[in-house]
Amino acid sequence: MRIGIKDEGLKCEHCGAPITEEDMYIREINGTKHYFCCSHCADAYEREK
């Protein structure tokens, strides 16, 4: 899947770390795509919801 995000302001929604296209980890939660720096942050975010 190609994403094409050129926005440099993208940050991990859990820890707030800046995300690069290489490090990007995307998880779809309740039909919405959320962006994280790693799978651990995605897991933690999902658990908190």
Residues in contact with Zn ion by CB under 5 A are: 12, 14-15, 17, 37, 41
Nearest distance, CB of residue 33 and Zn ion, angstroms: 15
Nearest distance, CB of residue 44 and Zn ion, angstroms: 8
Nearest distance, CB of residue 15 and Zn ion, angstroms: 3
Q: Which has the closest alpha carbon to 34: 22, 8, 15?
A: 15
16-42 per-residue burial string, b: 16 or more CB within 10 A, e: under 16: eeebeeeeeeebeeeeeebbbbbeebb
Nearer to Zn ion, 15 or 29 (CB): 15
